[in-house]
Amino acid sequence: MIASRSIPVLALAALSIASPVVPAPEITAAPSPAEIQKRATSCTFSGSSGASLASVSQKSCSTIVLSNVAVPSGVTLNLSDLEDDTTVIFEGTTTWGYKEWAGPLMQIEGSHITIKGASGAVLNGNGAEWWDGEGGSGGKTKPKFFYAHDLTDSTISNLYIQNTPVQAISIDNANSLIVSGVTIDNRAGDTGGGKNTDGFDIGDSTGVTITGANVYNQDDCVAVNSGTSITFSGGVCSGGHGLSIGSVGGRSDNTVETVTFENSEVKSSSNGIRIKATEGDTGTIKGITYSGITLSGITGYGILIEQNYDGGDLKGTPTAGIPITDVTLSNISGSGGVQSSATNVEIVCASGACSSWTWNNVVVTGGKTSTNCQGVPSGASCSA
Ligand SMILES: *[C@@H]1O[C@H](CO)[C@@H](O)[C@H](O)[C@H]1NC(C)=O
Ligand SMILES: *[C@@H]1O[C@H](CO)[C@@H](O)[C@H](O)[C@H]1NC(C)=O
């Protein structure tokens, strides 16, 4: 149990508690007793001043409890300057006020950071206030929800996120990040005008593992735009655009390597599996595995792999600047999973630019068989 106490920020300096027993540090010079005492402090912040007080005090608290914090309009819950080994716990309901701005509504950075939701905690983005059916490309300016950026050797667990205005979680420049048991519930946006509510957007990262995620949204469940050693397993995706690589191309980092999606379910979504390389750009998509994926209620493409993405799927002529190589699909269960008006499998590659694909036990049926496939490498088939 963490002893939780409410500490107004101005009282922190005057705070006096018994020095806890801490193990002697191994390498660095021993911190002063005052330092140890400060860092052992658990701080609780609440209400409409909670976000700004937590920001100001972030370096003084080894545990930050955000209990029923009401973040004011136009303010970022900003914990981007945490000391190593800080724990951030959400309790009760966290809310954000309405304003048209780009956000983010929340930003957390650091090394050896533990971010978690207490039982019953909800992070409510209040998205319906912004939803207008136009997402990120028109209408109201909508704040992104959570920048989980620059996290090293860190964990995010047990967050229940509801109703994000647009994109939910942006993971960028992460190095060894484990995300477990996170729910993104934007179901209300299905009929309420939610759009571009991506679940997880991942870029510039090495070693990201996402397990047991539940994503109900209206865009990619997961989109890996760049990065290495990314795994998504045991997830459920509903209502969105499926498990995506890309779009790749046109950014500063255009390499996606060693990405695994496994033992997950995609339902009531426009696509199941999608790999998008942008037409005319350069980059690398290599070492991609989809294994143990169940598809149902797919309305666009069961599997879509394209080298002619151009702001939209299947635009123009495929180009070879972003080769798609080493693609393994195994145990893809989509028997009857694609709706009759939709397409089972579509592959559009430039000549020779897709290679070394291994497909085993890929069954995706119910929809149409594409007649437009091109550049399909041996090992794969558009009539799976
Ligand atoms: C968060 O605070 C840091 C300084 O600690 C600042 O550099 C950064 O711009 C802030 N982020 C936002 C979104 O306001
Ligand atoms: C595919 O499914 C079979 C039967 O359920 C299982 O034995 C095999 O290990 C699976 N292969 C992969 C790569 O998941």
pLDDT in tens, 9-20: 443 433 333 444
| Cα 275 off chain centre by | 17
Mutate to test the pocket of ligand 2, among 330, 358, 360 (most ligand atoms within 8 A of CB): 330
- 7 in a structural domain: no
Pocket of ligand 2 contains residue 294 by CB under 6 Å: no
Q: Round to whole Å and give the CA distance between 259 and 285.
A: 9
* Residue pair 70/95 in contact by the 8 Å Cβ criterion: yes
Q: What is the pLDDT of residues 196-212, one digit of tens each?
A: 999 999 999 999 999 99
Pocket of ligand 2 contains residue 331 by CB under 6 Å: yes
- Local structure of 356: helix, strand or coil: strand
CATH number of the domain residue 158 falls in: 2.160.20.10
Ligand 1 center–CA 203 separation, angstroms: 20
- 81 in a structural domain: yes
Residue type, 239: G
- 333 in a structural domain: yes
183 to 125, 190, 244: CA distances (angstroms) = 13, 16, 18
Ligand 2 center–CA 258 separation, angstroms: 20
* Cα–Cα nearest to 166, from 205, 148, 139: 139
Burial of 132 (0-12, 13-18, 19+ CB in 10 A): middle
Q: Which residues are catalytic?
A: 241
Torsions phi, psi for 11 (to 5 deg): -85, -10
124 to 46, 69, 93, 303, 354: CA distances (angstroms) = 15, 11, 7, 33, 42
Nearest residue (CA) to ligand 1, atom 3: 80
| Domain encompassing residue 354 | 42-364
Host H or E run for residue 231 = strand 227-233
CB atoms within 10 A of CB 374: 17
Both tokens of 209, joined, read 């593992």
For the beta sheet containing 146-149, the strands, ordered from the edge strand earlier in sequence to the opposite edge, are 77-79, 106-108, 146-149, 169-172, 200-203, 222-224, 243-248, 271-278, 301-309, 343-348
Cis before residue 247, ω within 30 degrees of 0? yes
Q: Relative to the alpha carbon of 59, which ligand is closest? A: 1
- 172 in a structural domain: yes
Note the pLDDT of residue 5. Answer: 45
- 377 in a structural domain: no
Residue written as token pair 């009531």? 268
pTM, full prediction? 0.90
* Cα–Cα nearest to 305, from 280, 282, 288: 288
- 181 in a structural domain: yes
Note the pLDDT of residue 34. Answer: 61
Host H or E run for residue 330 = strand 324-334
Does pLDDT of 107 surpass 60?
yes
Number of domains in the chain: 1
DSSP 352: T
24 pLDDT band (50/70/90 cuts)? Answer: very low
Instruction: Calculate mean pLDDT across residues 290-300.
Output: 98
Note the pLDDT of residue 38. Answer: 58
Note the pLDDT of residue 36. Answer: 57
12 to 38, 41, 86, 228, 376: CA distances (angstroms) = 8, 10, 17, 42, 64
- 135 in a structural domain: yes
- 375 in a structural domain: no
Ligand 1: lining residues by beta carbon, under 6 Å? 76, 78, 80-81, 104, 107
CB atoms within 10 A of CB 158: 18
27 pLDDT band (50/70/90 cuts)? Answer: low
Residue type, 329: L
